[in-house]
Structure formats: C-alpha cells, structure tokens
Amino acid sequence: MRLTQFTDYAIRLLIWLADHEPGCRITIGESAAFLDIPINHLTKIAHRLARENLLRSSRGRSGGLWLARRLGEITVGEVIRVTEPDFALVACMAGQACSLGERCKLVPSLDAALAAFLQVMDGITLEDIVLERRCVGASVGQTV
C-alpha cells in the first residue's frame, strides 16, 4: 500500500499549520515555499482540506490558512480518508474481474489489513506528531 502524493502533502501542510500557535495565519505562498510544494498543487490540497473542515482559510491582507479544529481533534486516519481516491489494494477490490474468482480468499484479508491500518491512523492526532508550536514568519495576533 502506498499513500498518494496528495495525501502526503496534505499531512505535511496540516503538520506545518499545527506547528504554529493558534492565531497565526500562514499564507499558501509561505507554506508552499517552506514545504517545497508547487503553489497550485498546495492550493488544491488546502481547498479540499477546508471543504472537509480540517483547515480554514481567508483571503486578503490579513488572510491565510489555519487549523479548523484543535490538534487533538484531527486524526491522520481522517486526513487519509478524505484525501485518498480509493483503497483498492488489488484490482478485484475495485470491482474488476479476477480470473481466480471464488478460488481466492485474499480480499477479506486485505480488507482486514486496511481496516487495521486505518484504526492505527485514527489513533494518531496532529497533537501526537507535532514537536512544538511556534509562530514564525506569519501574521501574529489575529484571532481564529
């Protein structure tokens, strides 16, 4: 199993935002530069995460991005679920025909493995994976 680059970048963006004190608004440009992610790609990611109530954004002079919820309320499992296009680990899990048909009992095991993976990721919050909180290079003193 491999997570998409979209998910990888989404998790990085959330960690980057979580690394800042509440009240700090970080621009897409600052985030793209620090994370070394193309700004257009990061904009799409931020839009998806905002739509899923993981972050908030505002435009304008005092605009930027910030987390929509507390660090302990956002799990890595939730991020993975909202950013991954599908969890079909093999073609037959996506509904494609398999020449083995009923002779193969692998799919239930893969389903169980995926469920176990997501259960572990549901137990990990941003609070668990952020080392420190700071407000560097961002607009300070704005209420969130």
DSSP 24: -
Q: How far apart are CA 128 and CA 71, in angstroms?
A: 8
Domain count, the chain: 1
- The yes-or-no verdict on residue 140 having pLDDT over 50 is no
User: Measured in whole angstroms, how far is the alpha carbon of residue 119 from the centre of its chain?
Assistant: 16
Q: How far apart are CA 94 and CA 55, in angstroms?
A: 30
Assess if residue 51 is contained within a domain. yes
First to last CA, the chain: 37
Assess if residue 139 is contained within a domain. no
Q: How far apart are CA 25 and CA 18, in angstroms?
A: 11
Provide the β-strand partners of residue 84.
Answer: none
Assess if residue 137 is contained within a domain. no
Assess if residue 18 is contained within a domain. yes
Q: Read off the pLDDT of residues 74-114 as tens digits, 9 standing for 90 and up.
A: 999 999 999 998 888 777 877 788 887 777 888 888 889 99
Parent domain of 73: 5-129
Assess if residue 84 is contained within a domain. yes
Assess if residue 75 is contained within a domain. yes
pTM, to two decimals:
0.85
Assess if residue 102 is contained within a domain. yes
pLDDT given at position 73:
96
Residue 89: give its domain's CATH number.
1.10.10.10
